[in-house]
Amino acid sequence: MTPAAQIDDVYAMKRKSPPKKSLTRKAASRAASIDADILPTLLGYNIRRAQIVLWRDFARTVADGEIRPGMFSAIALVKANPGIAQVELSTELAIDKASMVGLIDRLEDAGWIVRTRSQEDRRRQGLTLTPAGEKMYRTLKREMLEHEQKFAALYSESERKQLVTLLRRLHDAQP
């Protein structure tokens, strides 16, 4: 049994009420008639709703829910940039330094990443994938591309490129 399945079993034992069932027709109809006010016009609201859909599918399909998107991103960047410093990784992923240390600790504890102190600058920790990390990366990359394709298929190639361009413009803005 996977760790995720074991956790599910623990939660199932602790659950006091029966699992939630899908909405009844009446409840679904009521939900469809809710006035969302200005929410559908807001960038943040729509981006967050899209992110939730992506997150849920990622959790179901990539590494049986054992890996979070931030972990995959860190592994991919370390793979592409052997010896990258923790601070550079933190900057690229827009993760605060304390959270980055915890993320790297988890990846190191899993045996996928190793920290190496720089000979030139003793304060610098370079990160590289272990052989187990290389193997995990190949598996995760395949699963991530399958996950991504489900959503990319909703758009033409030009629409997808435009969407990515627009999203990059938004996340690169530093107000």
- Give 51-96 pLDDT, tens digit per residue: 999 999 999 989 887 889 999 999 999 999 999 999 999 999 999 9
Q: Which residues pair with 69 in a beta bridge?
A: none
Q: What is the mean pLDDT of residues 12-26?
A: 49
- Residue 29 scores a pLDDT above 50: yes
The answer to whether residue 11 sits within a structural domain is no
Q: pTM (2 decimals)?
A: 0.74
What's residue 22's pLDDT?
A: 56
What's residue 5's pLDDT?
A: 44
**Domain limits for position 164:** 39-172
The per-residue pLDDT of the chain, averaged, comes to 85
The torsion angles phi and psi of 129, rounded to 5 degrees, stand at -80, 145
CATH number at residue 147: 1.10.10.10
The CA distance from 62 to 141, in Å, is 9
> Which range (26-30, 62-66, 71-75, 146-150) has the least confidence?
26-30
The answer to whether residue 26 sits within a structural domain is no
Q: What is the mean pLDDT of residues 136-155?
A: 95
The answer to whether residue 124 sits within a structural domain is yes
Contact 77, 84 (CB under 8 A): yes
Exposure string of 123-138, with b = 16+ CB inside 10 Å and e = fewer, is eebbbbbeeebeebbe
Split at pLDDT 50, 70, 90, the class of 124 is confident
The CA distance from 49 to 107, in Å, is 29
The answer to whether residue 142 sits within a structural domain is yes
Q: Compute the radius of gyration of the chain from its Cα atoms.
A: 20
Number of domains comprising the chain: 1
**Is the model more confident about 120 or about 107?**
107
